[in-house]
Each structure stands twice: as C-alpha cells, then as structure tokens.
Structure 1
Amino acid sequence: MKKYSYIIFFITLLSITSCIDLERELSTQVTEEQANNSYDFSLSRINSIYTDIPEGYLEIDGAMGASSSDESEHTLETSGVQKFNNGSWNSVDNPDNLWGQLYRGIRKANLFLENSDNIDLDQFKLDPSPSSQQVYKNRLAEIERWKSEARFLRAYFYFELVKRYGGVPLFAEAASLDVNTAEVQRNSLQECIDFIVSESEAAATGLPLNYPNQDLGRATKGAALALKSRMLLYAASELFNNDSWAGGYSKPELISLDGSRDEKWKAAADAAKEVIDLSGSGYSLHNNYRSLFITNSFSYPEVIFTRRNSSSNGFEQENYPVGYDLGKGNTTPSQNLVDSYEVLTNENKAIPFDWDNPQHASNPYSKRDPRLNLTVIFNNSYYKGRNVQLYEGGLDGEGVVNASKTGYYLKKYSYEYLNLLQGQRSVKSWHIFRLSEIFLSYAEALNEYNPGNPDIATYVNMVRQRAGVKMPAIPSGLSQGEMRERIIHERRVELAFEGYRSWDLRRWMLAEEYLSLPLRGVDIVRTDDGGFIYTPIIVENRVFEARMYLYPIPLGETLISEKIIQNPGW
C-alpha cells in the first residue's frame, strides 16, 4: 500500500484549539489525562468537530456564497463578499479564508483519534452483571464509530481545503509546539486526493447506514461515500487536469494531476453509482422541492449529510424582502440565473427563455420551470400574505431603502411563516450531500467516458421529473457535447444557492466566461392599467481572472515557511 508523506501541520497551531484549550471549554476542574480517559469528554470532543463544518447560510461576511458567483447580488455594499465580484481580494484579504477553521477541525479530529483508545470503560468492563456488560459492549462500539466519524470529518475538511487551494500540507497527527515550522511544505494534489478518497473509504466501513432521530446529522456510510464521489468528480474535471491557466507554474504537481482522464471519469461515475446503489440506505428524491430547504428538512430521505443548526431566524431577517417587518433583502437572485429556468410550451416541451420573444418578455414568469417559483421571489408573486411589489415605487421595489437591485428576492431556505416581530424561529439545516447531486454527478461522469449510456438521460430526467417539478424529459439523441450542456444547466437550476455554482464553474474552467459577465437584473414599471413592463438591466460589472481558479495560500502561512509555495498568479 502506498505510503503518504504526511506532514505535521503547524501553521495555524497558535490560533486553533489545542487539547488543553478544548478541555478548558468543557471543564476547568479536570486534568488532560482525566479528560482523555473520560467517555463524556470524548463524546463532547467528537461532537465539537462537527462545529467546524462551514455553515453555508451566511458564510462570507454575512453573505451567501451564491453572491460571489453569477447567482446573486448581495445588497449590502460593505460586505466582504463584494471583493470577489470586483476582484479586490488577495492573499492578505480573502473574505472566504477558511484555512484556520478547517485546520482547526483537522487538529481536533487528530486529537480525538490519538486519544480515543484511552477512554476508561473499566467501570462496566469489570462489572460482571449483564447490564454493565451490555453497556460496555455498546460503548466500545460507539467509540469505534466515533473514530470513523472523525476520519470522515477530517477527510471532508481536507476536501474543502483542496477545492480552494489545490495541494495542501497533510498531517495525520496533531502538531506539537516544538515542530520545525520552516520545514513544512504542501503535499501534491494527487497525494491529497488519494488521502481523502482512502479515508472516505475507511470511514465508510465503520459508519452505519442511518441513525435514530436523535442522532440525525451524524456522518453515515452514505456521507463518506458521497464525499469520495465528490472528490473523484473534482479529480476528473478540467481544472485539476489542465494547468494552462497557471502560466508555467514551477510546481504543477500542487495544482494538477497526471494520468488518464477516462479512468478518472470512470472512477467518479463508479463512486456516484456506489452511493445510488447503497443497499438499505433508504435514499430517495423528496416529493417536495420547496420543503427540502426549510424547517426540519434534515430527516428527509434525499438528504445524505447535513449540518444541523439551532433554531434561529437570522437568515429570514437577512433575506425577507424589505417591505416586510425586519426584512433586509440581502441575497437577491440575478437575472443571469432567472433566465436559465426553462419555459414550458403548450406542447409540453421545455425551451430556453428569450427576451427577444415578445410573449416571454411581456410575461417573464409564466409557464416557467416550477423550481423558479420555489427558489426565487419575483414581482407580483404571492409571499407572506400579499403579492410582492418589486416594481418602481412598490413596497419592495426601487425607491425603498435597500430594495433589491436585481428585481428579485430569495425564497429558497427562507421560511415564510415566521413572525419576526414576535421572535419566531425555525430549525435550519445546511445540506452538504443530497441525492440529486449524486444523480447529476453520476450522469456527468458517465457522459464523459461513456457517452450515449442510457443511464445518463435516466438520472438527469429523474431530477427534472421529481414530484412537484415534473419538467419534460430532455430530448433523446443528444451528442456528448449537447448532453454536457444539459447537465451544466441542470446543476445550475437544481442546485442553485446550495454552494455549488462558483466551484462548478471553476472545475469546468468556465469561470472566466461566466463570472466575468455583467451581473444582470430587471427594471419593473407598473402601468396605469395594472400591468408591468420588464426591462433587463446591468446591475454590476464583475471581475474574474485566471489566477482566481484557486485561492491564494494565506500570506501569513507562506511567511512562516518558505517551503509553502504560493499558488500561481498570487
């Protein structure tokens, strides 16, 4: 078996949680040894690792990641997310700098794995009573499962690093204070991918298919295999197999891979199909697209892995239209996105929306893909007890302070039944893996190495034709390139605002094409007879340069060790 060059990571050591610091959070009355031996402390430790999973909802300085892509504009101009859009971010000032947080999670996972065998169960082991012996067996099994959870979480944190930075320093144990920081270096991209895949596979063998309700949100076998699937999809995609954007970078092994693309696509397809075929998982597409993203959705069979959050109303305050009590309307979908939802014809065919078509332009939200109305609040649509007024002079439109610049507000994830003045809250869950993503990843990978395979259309159509959506099947007889475009379109619509878009565009190496386009919206004027005139407008010019395909390594890390090579262009 290949041996990896695991580097003991150090860079964020002084800023992340050490073993003693973590124990101090739990109690100030125990020693480090007592904490390592304690079953209850160990349970708290494994639970604490989950808190370092990126939250998703308002992850970039109070904004959704969607507002750093062509999906939306964030209304608050002072938010750091705007730096992605105007190109002013760099290795010192990156609004999405999760380097420290992700390595903190990795260190916590390593600390847990190093100390989990020290948990003292003698109280039950040495008691011959049947009840104590059963507790002993149960706790042994729990500890073994916790180890698999820690390995999965560590692999997931590494994936989040790799998709941002390429190859990063790998370490399989917690760093000590006497490590020689000047010697630490980045592992190759291939080594990082191999580690994530192998750890996902190992974790899957020790994780259950599902949990009782009180433990929903913990890592499962399906989650580990879904992580493997996503990593292999990235490994097969254009960005990690084409370093032409990097301008003769001196360390190509940090950002690109060698080997057959067909083999990589096949591995990605096989990994996705392994999740789809996972016996006993109970996974299925949920019958209500809207409810997948609002309160208590963590229990639905489409959800493979989710970050469960406490009950809150902060997201609603940030995103209710400004005409509603306490609404700030910050995440405003773009016309770029809205135009991508297809139009249904009287013959039950789906065609692209076209502003040059008078019927489309005069009534732009009629007969659209149902997911548009389930994702976006548009003018005159019904929401929270009235029709939304996004026209000039309306309650939610131009002329109102902080009104949407794009002519839209976000519906997806916002639970419209909360009364914010009364402080009502709902449970939020950020879904990290769900079945429709796996279907589309399987179709994409299969189309790249085995075009024409009937499974490709089958799984794309399953997503399009779920209950409550019921879009027409994609046309038959598509070429490989035409099917590729269909899959790109379907991911854009199905996974909107879920944190995929900017990363998909990067891995496809389409970001320079799409993220450099002006972000568009719509101007809406109400006519004297109660109708509306819709005119597409440019809201903001956007910037994306080739170097932005990968994030810069934070400058502080490269200053600590000259062997930490910066990414190209930064």
Structure 2
Amino acid sequence: MKTNKLKYIILSLAVSTIALVSCDNDLLETVPNDRLSVDVFWRTETDAKLAVNGLYTDLDSTNIISWDALTDIAHTNQNFDVQAYIELGTYDGTSSKVLGEWRRAYRGIRATSYFLENVDKVASTNTALINQLKGEAKVLRAYQYIKLAAFYGDVPLVTSSITIDEGRALVKSPVSAIWDFIDKELTEAAALLPTTYPATDKGRVTQGAALGLAARANLYAGRYQKAADAADKVMKLGIYGLYESYEKLFTYAAENNKEVLFDRQFIKDTYPINVFSILAPYSQKNGGSAYVPTKALVDMYETLDGKLITDAASGYNPATPYANRDTRLKYSVFLDGDILPSGIAFKPAPTSGTADAVGSTYIASTTGFNIKKYIIADDYANPVNSGINIILLRYAEILLTYAEAKIETGQIDASVLAAINAVRNGRNDVKQPSVTTLSQTELRTIVRRERTVELAFEGQHLFDIRRWKTAEKVIPGPVYGITYKDASGALATVQVVSVNKTFDVSRHYLWPVPQKERDLNPSLTQNPGW
C-alpha cells in the first residue's frame, strides 16, 4: 500500500480547513473563504507543511500527453476536441486550450508566491525544515514558468501576490528575463533541498529535481553550457540511474524508482487519476483513445541492429512492420496482436471487426495505434480510479540533455557517447547498438531521435521541435496510421480522414496570449502573427 503523504493533499487540506473554522466559535464570519487567513493559519510547522502540500495540486498530469498530440508523433483522436483545432491551425487567442494552460500555470505561480510571502510567519526554530519548504515552493513556481516561456515566450513575471488592479496593469517581460529568473530560482532552491527523503515523504521536490529542471530550462533557452553543467550535477549526485526495465517503467511496480526525479503523485480512491479511461483502446471499457500515436513516430524506431527502416539493408518488411524493432516501440505503443489489459488481443485493422477497428466508432483510434504507457491491467476494473504517478522528469532525460548540450557546444567526448548509449542499451530490456561517431551533425540527429522515441508521450516533443526549429518540417500534412491487409489481401496504410496538420512558421512557434487575459488587461501585447 502506498503511504506517501503527498497523495493525501486534498484530504489533509480539507480536514485542516474544517478544523480551523471550527476551533473557535468566536471567529468572525468575515474570515476569507478563498485563501488561508493569516489570523488563523501560518502558526505552526504543520501549517507550513500543509500549505506546501497544497502547491503540488497545480502540477501537470495527463495534460502533458496532450502536448505531444500537437506534434508529428501523436494525434488528437476526436476532431471536435478543442485542441484538434490547434493541429489544424484554425485557432487563435480565444482557444480554451491556450487559455487553460496559461491559467493553470499562473494559478500555481500565485499559490507558490503566497506561500513564500507567508511561511516566515510560522514560529519555528527548525530552520532546515522551513528552508526545505521554501525550496519546494521555488521549484514548483519555476516549473510553471518553464511551461509559460516554452508555450508563449514573453510573459508577465510575477513573483508576489498581486491585487486585481495590479493584475490588470501587468506587462510582459522578455523571455530571456523569464529564463534568468527560472535559473536563479532553481539554483537557490537546490541549495535548500535535500537529495532524498524518508519513504513517507517520497514525491517531494528534491535537490535533484531542482537541478534537473534547471538543465531542462537552460536547454529550452539554448543556454547549452548551463544545461550541461546542471545535468552533470544531477549525474554526479550518484543517486539516480536508469530503471532496469523500460517495459515496467510506467507501472505501479516502478513507482518512486531511481530514475524518477519529479512526478505528480496519485493514489486510488483517495486522490485518483483517470489516465486509463483517457488513453486506453476503446475495447477496454470504452477507453477514450483521446491521443493516439502516429505512423511518423512508429517509423522512427530503429531495427534491433540500429538501422532506420528506410535503410535498404535494415531488412524492414512492411508486411510485418513491428518485427525486429527497438523494443521501446512495443513498450510505448499498443501494436496489432498485443494483449490488452482485459486479456483480449488488440486488433485495430479496419477489416478486423473488433471494437478497436479503425472506423468502427469515432472513439476508436483513428490511426490504429494506442498509447501503452500508463495503461495497466490493475486499473482495468475501474478505469477512472488509477493511482499511477505521472512522471514529469526522469533520469533518461537528464542524460539526453547532457549529451545534446555538449553536442551543441562542440564538446564531444566519451561522456557524450556514454550518456546516449546508456539510454540506448543501459536497461535489461532495451539493447540498441552503441553509437560511436564523433560527428556533430550525426550526433545531433541521433540525440534528437533518441529524445523523440525515449520520451514519447511525456510532454517534451512539442517544445523540442520548436527549439530545434523543425516543427514547420515535421508537423504539416496528413496523419497516417497502421499498415494492414485490406479485403483483397493487399497492403494498405490508414490515413486519418479530414485531417491535415498545419504549422505556420510566421506565428505557430509561439502560442497567442489568451484573448480573455488581454480583455482584462489591454497592457498585454499579443505575440507576433496573432
């Protein structure tokens, strides 16, 4: 049974709120009910712990998977989903998806800022504890700013609680200033945080998470030396490593393993998540197939001898497309013939006559592929009551960040090859041939492909193809899916009906500032092209 304190965030805060309201019959009715009142809170270490626990509820969860569906490697399955319009390029600042990510981030920023403004009111001689809690809050705030900078570019830099009137007068800060702030926050936080916690506090932000996010942020910002240095610090902590099984990495058995630097923690019944019902194939108790893999992703996985399937010497056979392939493919994507959580075989071909057949219903995958990560047989009985943690940062990303940053700075040495090859063959069930080339051009291509296949459906690819400036090349065009034998026995490839992904280089490298925010605050200027 899981015992992690963070999984009882909602329950704990609810109980504490009731206790605060009922502890004194003389409390005035004017005590605000939308925030923690300084008159009755911020008195004890327990208050501080409960307050910082609540900050974790603003972290991302399944929405990170949706970001990949805005790229070439996945697709938003239902064409009436609001983010389907982003794929088609027919969106603007009125998009609820664009607004939702903005508001989620700033909600988290406000909460963390409020915490940092008030935590020193707690009467405590345990300076280490208070500093730890401050460090957690700083990391959680920096995490939100990383997203904002990556999605929108220039955004308001808010570091304290503000009034409504102040909010209506905010102006955007240059994205360079946002990256500066993020790096400063994470550096300060790393010095305040422990490297590990007792089992009862697993899931709290660690020093490794702070350094790891600094590596990510600086890679996004193109500050490659800083990214390499931060990643190197994580590696030298000596407490992280690759989990031995990629197949089991996204299951209950692997929770809180040595590869996880940062995650969003859940627990069945008490604080569940509905990831199974969102992603599972339709045959699995009406699984939603909300976001589905594409042929573009599947084709990126090498053969077991390290060749691309486009290589004439690879032995690739389109009639048996999944044979002799990088094992991460079958661990990440449901493929034809796979056994599903219910015990039946996955048969997505339009001619299969199954519930998962392409075209059988608008909910079944339109590509014939489904995401396998996080879809666990244990959750089949109650698909909306999963307790699986959603990983937000893991060690494989650190290794690839280190390698990419060193490649971009021209510092190509044995450590670069070691980092890439650890991801390629450092697990018991992933054994791709080692890379030996020292060519910057070749290594750049290799590390980008490794990031794509290793971190598929983990929310990184959209930001990667934006910073690589390859989005305009890989996104536009039809969406393709499985290759199967049609009624005549000939091979046919699924093409998703009425979908032609669009990417306008003049404006789609940044999302627009949400129109509702600009209506409230005319001082917020719009991004170029919008």
Deviates more, 1:325-334 or 1:41-50: 325-334
The separation in 1 between residues aligned to 2:523 and 2:287, in whole angstroms, is: 48
Q: Is 1:377 paired with 2:363?
A: no
The superposition leaves residues 260-296 of structure 1 with CA deviations (integer Å, 9 ceiling, x where unpaired) of xxxx3222211211111124xx101000112211225
Secondary structure of the 1:524 match is strand
Structure-2 separation of matches of 1:79 and 1:382: 28
Q: Report if aligned partners of 2:212, 2:234 keep a CA contact under 8 Å in 1.
A: yes
Bigger Rg, which one = 1
Aligned to 1:332: 292
1:103 aligns with 2:106: yes
Sort the Cα spacing of 1:560 and 1:389 in 2 relative to 1 into closer, same or farther, 3 A: closer
Identify the residue that residue 8 of structure 2 maps to in structure 1.
none
**Which stretch has the larger CA shift, 507-516 or 100-109?**
100-109
Could you say which residue in structure 1 is the equivalent of 2:118? 115
- 2:138, 2:186 within 8 Å by CA — same for their partners in 1? yes
Please tell me whether the aligned partners of residues 98 and 511 of structure 2 are also in contact (alpha carbons under 8 angstroms). no
The letter for the 2-side match of 1:106 is: I
CA contact (8 A) 1:23 1:35 kept: no
Give RMSD over aligned pairs: 2.6
What residue number does 2:258 align with?
Answer: 301
CA contact (8 A) 1:111 1:174 kept: yes
Matched to 1:52, the amino acid is D
**Pairing of 1:555-566 with structure 2 (within 5 A):** 555-566=515-526
Does the aligned pair in 1 maintain the 2:251–2:374 contact within 8 Å? yes
Please name the residue that 1:11 is paired with: none
Contact 2:274 2:386 in 1 (8 A): no
Return the offset for 1:141. 2.9
Partner of 1:174: 161
Change (3 A) 1:47 1:301: same
Equivalent pairs counted in the alignment come to 492
Match of 2:228 in 1: 269
User: Is 1:235 the equivalent of 2:221?
Assistant: yes
AA aligned to 1:555 is Q
Equivalent of 1:219 in 184, 202, 205: 205
1:496: how far off? 0.4
The list of structure 1 runs, each at least 4 consecutive aligned residues, that deviate by more than 6 angstroms after superposition, is 21-26, 355-358
- The reply to whether residue 403 of structure 1 matches residue 364 of structure 2 is yes
Aligned to 1:446: 406
Residue 314 of structure 1 deviates from its aligned partner by 2.3
Contact between 2:284 and 2:380, CA under 8 Å: does it hold in 1?
no
| Unpaired stretches in structure 2, ≥5 consecutive residues | 1-13, 32-36
Task: Give, as a single letter, the amino acid of the residue that structure 2 aligns with 1:390.
Answer: P
Q: Give the 3 Å change call, closer, same or farther, for CA 361–476 of structure 1 in structure 2.
A: same
Identity of aligned residues (%): 30
Alignment partner for residue 352 of structure 1, among 284, 308, 311? 308
Distance in 1 of aligned mates of 2:521 and 2:83: 29
Match of 1:157 among 134, 140, 144: 144
Query: Does residue 105 of structure 2 align to residue 148 of structure 1?
Result: no
Distance 1:117 1:452, change over 3 A: closer
String of CA shifts for 1:464-490, please: whole Å, max 9, x gaps.
002234333344234211110101110
Which of the residues 441, 449, 455 maps onto 2:415?
A: 455
Cα distance, 1:565–1:316 mapped onto 2, change above 3 Å:
same
Q: Residues 111-144 of structure 1: CA distance to partner in whole angstroms, max 9, x if unpaired?
A: 11111111135xxxxxxxxxxxxxx54xx43222
The equivalent position to 1:50 in structure 2, one of 53, 56, 61, is 56
Give TM-score, length-normalised by structure 1. 0.81
Task: Work out whether residues 155 and 174 of structure 2, in 8 Å CA contact, stay in contact via their aligned partners in 1.
Answer: yes
Structure 1 equivalent of residue 189 of structure 2 = 203
* Partner Cα distance (1:185, 1:25) in 2: 38
Please say if residues 149 and 207 of structure 1, whose CA atoms lie closer than 8 Å, have aligned partners that are also in contact: yes
> Residues 445 and 76 (structure 1 numbering): CA distance in 2 closer, same or farther, change over 3 Å?
same
- The answer on whether the counterparts of 2:209 and 2:262 sit within 8 Å (CA) in structure 1 is yes
* Counterpart secondary structure, 2:171: coil
In structure 1, distance between residues paired with 2:358 and 2:183: 50
* Residue 76 (1) aligns with residue 86 (2): no
- In structure 1, runs of 5+ residues without a counterpart are 1-20, 122-135, 237-263
